[in-house]
Amino acid sequence: MALFVTGGAGFIGSNFVLDWLEQSDEPVVNLDKLTYAGNRENLAALAADPRHFFVQGDICDRALVDHLLATHRPRAIIHFAAESHVDRSIHGPAEFMRTNIDGTFTLLEAARSYWNSLKGVELRQFRFHHISTDEVYGSLQPDDPPFAENNSYQPNSPYAASKAASDHLVRAWYHTYGLPITISNCSNNYGPYHFPEKLIPLIIANALAGKPLPIYGDGQQVRDWLYVTDHCSAIRCILEAGQVGEVYNVGGWNEMPNIDIVNTIIKLLDELRPDPTGSYARLITHVTDRPGHDRRYAIDARKIERELGWRPAEIFETGIRKTVQWNLANQAWVEHVTSGEYRQWLDSNYGARL
What is the set of active-site residues? Answer: 134-135, 159
Neighbours of 185 (CB within 10 A): 25
DSSP state of 299: B
Strands 213-216, 127-133: parallel, antiparallel or unpaired by DSSP? Answer: unpaired
Alpha helix locations (H) across the chain? 11-23, 62-72, 86-91, 94-96, 104-116, 120-125, 158-177, 199-209, 228-241, 258-272, 302-308, 316-329, 331-337, 340-350
**Rama region for 328: left / alpha / beta (φ>0; ψ in -120 to 50; rest):** alpha
What CA dihedral angle connects 250, 256, 261 and 262, to 10 degrees?
Answer: 140
CA distance 20 to 3: 10
Cβ-contact 298, 222 below 8 angstroms = yes
Cβ-contact 197, 203 below 8 angstroms = no
Angle, CA 176 vertex, CA 173 and CA 178 arms, to 5°? 70
The amino acid present at 198, given as its one-letter code, is K
Q: At what angle do helices 11-23 and 228-241 cross, to 10 degrees?
A: 60
Cβ-contact 59, 99 below 8 angstroms = yes
